[in-house]
Chains A and B, each alone.
Chain A
């Protein structure tokens, strides 16, 4: 962390951040996990009709199950599923981190930073693994 008196180039100041400034704003890892938690949750909410429809197809009959398999074999459907798998894994792992924070575990700055990075180290490899499985590499 640089002190307010450091001689580097002046750091930008943000008051009420505007939408157009969002990309310039360097969010620390815990903040990044937080906004990703919200985005992943919103994504899954928007995908609810798709997911329930797929669940319906999987259970109704052998015929509908076959339709589901056919639908899920297209690359575009697989891409959408992979995004949703990422959203789920991030939301789950980050959610467990929040439950631990609620219990006052790891609330210090350094610990919170480490656990925020751990969320990525767990959820992203699992997403890659699921992706490899989904696209038939594994």
Chain B
């Protein structure tokens, strides 16, 4: 950092603003966090307010189409949020490139699996 920059330095001419290196991920991590927090807090308050004991009342909550869609959006937000967080963990701690890329790939595949699974769960009610 303290060494003077020469024209041959990597990034000397880089325009930092507009490089978009991780800015999109940063923003979407926050956006998905807000969606998730809102959905989960409302769901918890609804559950605590009572009347949801037993299968019929609980499952009935997810019968309307709009609730399925809202729930699915929240779950997709969860999977995308998890992708950014887990990606950051791999980037921070796993140095060998091929192991890191493998872990990234497995994480994406696993989260896609979960996303399709959650469609199936919601649309069976």
Contacts and interface: CB of A to CB of B under 8 A. Distances in A.
Interface stretch (B2-10, B14-22, B54-62, B96-104): B54-62
Contacts of A42: 85-86, 89
A89 to B, nearest CB: 10
B55 A62 contact: yes
Contacts of A99: 30, 33-34
Interface residues of A, number: 23
A49 B121 CA distance: 13
A75 interface: no
B60 to A, nearest CB: 10
B82 interface: yes
A17 to B, nearest CB: 13
B114 A58 contact: no
B125 interface: yes
Interface in B61-111: 62, 82, 85-86, 89, 110
B32 to A, nearest CB: 11
Given A42-B89, A99-B30, A99-B34, A48 B121 contact: no
A42 B124 CA distance: 29
A104 B30 CA distance: 14
B37 interface: yes
B121 A55 contact: yes
B59 A59 contact: yes
B42 interface: no
B55 A56 contact: no
Given A48-B114, A62-B55, A95-B37, A56 B121 contact: yes
| 8 A-B pairs closest in CB distance | A65-B55, A62-B55, A56-B121, A41-B85, A59-B125, A45-B82, A59-B59, A95-B33
Interface in A3-38: 38
A49 B110 CA distance: 10
Contacts of B122: 59
Contacts of B56: 62
A122 interface: no
Contacts of B62: 59
Nearest to A57: B121
A58 B40 CA distance: 17
A15 to B, nearest CB: 16
7 contacts: A38-B89, A41-B85, A48-B82, A59-B59, A59-B122, A59-B125, A62-B55
